[in-house]
Structure formats: structure tokens, C-alpha cells
Amino acid sequence: MTASYTLYGTEISYYTGKVRAFLRWKRLPFEEVLSDASVYRNVIVPKVGVRAIPVLVTPQGELLQDSTDIIDAVERRHPEPAVYPAGPVQRFLALWIETVADEWMLIPAMHYRWHHDAEWAMQQFGAVNLPEASPQEQFAIGQQIAAPFAKAAENLGAHAGMREAVEASYEALLDELDAHFKAHPALIGGQPCLADFGLIGPLYAHQYRDPTAGALMRSRAPNLVRWVEQTQLHPAGFDGALLAGDACPDSLLPALRRWASEFLPVLEDTAHRASAWMAEHPGELLPRALGRHRFRLGAAEGERIVRPYSLWMLQRVLDHLGSLTGDDRARVERVAADAGAGALFAFPRFPRLERVGLTVKPAA
């Protein structure tokens, strides 16, 4: 029997939900340890160097941080069932949706939590941090811990002038995903893959569990709720397969087009700004935010921080596209164009990046 893993995380954590669902789907034994104040103080910060979850400890004692790196490391050890689709089209979809989920879905996730349910979230943060304290003590510490997270909603673009547009876009996405999951059990057919585990992060930890967003999802998107519950709670129960013929589901195209129209211009501008910054600061760690830039949701235009970390995630998509030749490349080009993401094949070049903690730097 495979030795057990240890997952440090919480139910309210965006990226812990991604890793937890993946481990369950792999049917790997693991113990989840609540990341309270003592765990951060005695385990995570001393051994990982950053205050971040999830952290996974392997049976060999290796500590892994960052949900994408965790999934890749576990996948190398336990390649079956494979989280990465074998076909070039479906692998592209999986990598692109993971990037969108990790980096773009942050906007509605942070908006609904901190602009609708801030007091609930503060209580949750306090209960996680000091599980033995009184509710009053938990709320007080939760207020302190929550301050940077609450500010993140504004910095990501959900400021006062954009909140209506954020909600309109998200509600339309709920409808699009609900229609898709009426037709298919998972994102690319009858079984989950990397795309599903990426998207479950925001859609479980924030949008399903938080009171306001959760009520909205349950009233508006029952098929999406079914997918969230199965993917997070019992993913091993999926009994189908990815679509035959390396196909992209037609029912997924509306959501794909939405994500491309909103996120690709942001990524392109981020690439230009990060490249310019790296030319002026050779070899240095990039700041987590490179100033601010404009972005659009529908007819609304707002401002948000420039996040170079998103390029590290996008790099995985671009590496896959760059590896394609012949018929494989032509097929992926057609699907990407149909999904509104054809510009990825001519994406602005930027220096190769490597992750360092919570930020990135030019690769050595």
C-alpha cells in the first residue's frame, strides 16, 4: 500500500481545494492537517520559507508548495490515472483552463468573499488560526489576518466601479458552465483532468462554500453544483472517460470564449510590462505586482495590479503549443481559434521564468 501523504491546508483555501480533490481522485492516502497559527509558526514558515498553503509532505519527507508543483510532483510518482490528457487538443484545454482558474477566477472569488461575506470570512479565518479560542477572540484575530486578503479583491480589479461588471460576468459564466455540466459530467467528458482540479479551487473553496456565492450557485446552476460536489468530495466516483478523438466539447466553448476575451489582453500587457522590467533589472526577482494596468469586462473598464506570476502559469500553455508540429498543431490551432484563444500562438515573447516562493524571476 502507498505510504501516506500529509496535506497542510484549510477548507477555505482556494488552492488547497485543488490539491485535495486531485489526491482523492488519485486514491492516495493522505492526512489533512489544519494550518493553524502553530502549524504556520512551527512547520510551514521554517521549512518552506513562505506563509502559504497548501503544503504537501511526501512519504519520503519532501515538502512541496504551490498547487501546480504539488500536482506535477505527485503525478511523476503516481502516473495513473493520468491528470494530463494524452491528446494535444485536450492537453491544451487542460493547461489553459488551469491557468484561467488559478489566475483569473481570483477576481470573482475574492469579490464575493470580501464584498458580500467579509464578516463571515473573518470568523472563518479566526477559527482556522485559533481553533481553541472563543468566537469573539477568533473574530478579532480574523480581522487582522483578513486585511491583506480583503485588499486583494480591490487590487485584482473588483473595485467599486467594476463590481457590477464582475458580477455580471460571473453570473453569465455560471449559466455557461451549468449548461456544459448538463451535457457532460466533467469539463472534457466523463472523467476529471487537470482542468477540473484547477477550476475546483475557486468554485469549491470560495464560490460553493461562501454564503452569498454559494446561495447564488445553488439557485442558478444546479448542474455546476453537482460537478463541484463530486469533483471535491468523491472524484473517484467518476466512471467515464475523456471525450473520444481528442475532442473539445462544444458546450464548453462559451466559457472558453469568455475567459479568452477577458484574460488574454491582460496577459499580453503583463508580458510586455514584465519583459521591460526584466530588461532593466536583469536576474532580479520580479515584484509580486508591477504597477497597475487597465482591463475590461464586457463594456466596463477598470484597473488592476499587473501580476507577473500569471506568466509562469501561462508558460506551461505556451510550452505545449510550441512543442506541436504538423497535424497536431493544426488541430490545436483550430480549437484555440474557436475558443477565442488563437492569439496564444502569436503571444508576445518574454524571458523564461522560474518560480521562487510566491513570485518569479528569469530562469538561470
Provide DSSP, 208-232: TTSHHHHHHHHHH-HHHHHHHHHHH
**Partners of residue 297 on adjacent β-strands:** 300
Flag whether the pTM goes above 0.85.
yes
Chain centroid to Cα 142, Å, comes to 24
Question: What pLDDT is attached to residue 1?
Answer: 52
Question: What pLDDT is attached to residue 150?
Answer: 79
pLDDT along the chain (364 residues), means of 10: 88 97 97 95 93 95 96 97 98 98 98 96 94 94 86 95 98 98 98 98 98 98 98 94 98 98 98 98 96 97 98 98 98 98 98 95 93
* Cα–Cα distance, 50 to 161 (Å, whole number): 33
Amino acid at 303: E
HEC profile of 169-187: HHHHHHHHHHHHHHHCCEC
Instruction: Assess contact for 267 and 248: CB atoms under 8 A.
Output: no
Give the contacts of 68 (CB within 8 A, at least 6 positions apart): 98, 102, 313, 316
